[in-house]
Chains A and B, each alone.
Chain A
Amino acid sequence: GESVGLHLPTLSVQEGDNSIINCAYSNSASDYFIWYKQESGKGPQFIIDIRSNMDKRQGQRVTVLLNKTVKHLSLQIAATQPGDSAVYFCAENKRYNAGNMLTFGGGTRLMVKP
Chain B
Amino acid sequence: EPEVTQTPSHQVTQMGQEVILRCVPISNHLYFYWYRQILGQKVEFLVSFYNNEISEKSEIFDDQFSVERPDGSNFTLKIRSTKLEDSAMYFCASRVGAGKNIQYFGAGTRLSVL
Do A and B interact with each other, yes or no? yes
Residues of A within 8 A of B (CB): 32, 34, 36, 41-46, 49, 89, 91, 93, 96, 98-107
CB–CB A104/B43 < 8 A: yes
A49, A102, A105 interface centre (most CB from chain B within 10 Å): A102
CB–CB B102/A34 < 8 A: yes
Nearest-neighbour CB distance to chain B for A58, whole angstroms, equals 17
CB–CB B107/A104 < 8 A: no
Nearest-neighbour CB distance to chain A for B45, whole angstroms, equals 6
CB–CB A89/B42 < 8 A: yes
Nearest-neighbour CB distance to chain A for B76, whole angstroms, equals 17
| Residue ID in chain B nearest A105 by CB atoms | B42
Residues of B within 8 A of A (CB): 4, 31, 33, 35, 41-45, 48, 50, 55-56, 91, 93, 100-108
A interface: dominant SS: strand
Given A32-B100, A36-B105, 4 more A-B residue pairs with CB atoms under 8 Å apart are A99-B50, A100-B48, A101-B101, A107-B42
Partner of A49, one of B56, B100, B105, B106: B100
Write out the residue numbers on chain A whose beta carbons fall within 8 Å of the beta carbon of B100.
32, 49, 93
CB–CB B48/A101 < 8 A: yes
| Residue ID in chain B nearest A34 by CB atoms | B102
| Residue ID in chain A nearest B41 by CB atoms | A106
CB–CB B104/A102 < 8 A: no
Q: When A and B form their complex, which 9 residue pairs have the shortest distance between CB atoms, in order from nearest?
A: A43-B105, A98-B55, A100-B101, A104-B43, A106-B42, A93-B101, A44-B105, A104-B42, A43-B107
| Residue ID in chain A nearest B92 by CB atoms | A43
Nearest-neighbour CB distance to chain A for B19, whole angstroms, equals 19
A43 and B102 in contact, given A106-B42, A107-B42 (Cβ under 8 angstroms): no
Write out the residue numbers on chain A whose beta carbons fall within 8 Å of the beta carbon of B31.
99
Partner of A96, one of B33, B42, B56: B56
Instruction: Give CA–CA (A86, B76) in the complex, Å.
Output: 28
Nearest-neighbour CB distance to chain A for B84, whole angstroms, equals 23
Instruction: Give CA–CA (A99, B32) in the complex, Å.
Output: 11
CB–CB B55/A99 < 8 A: yes
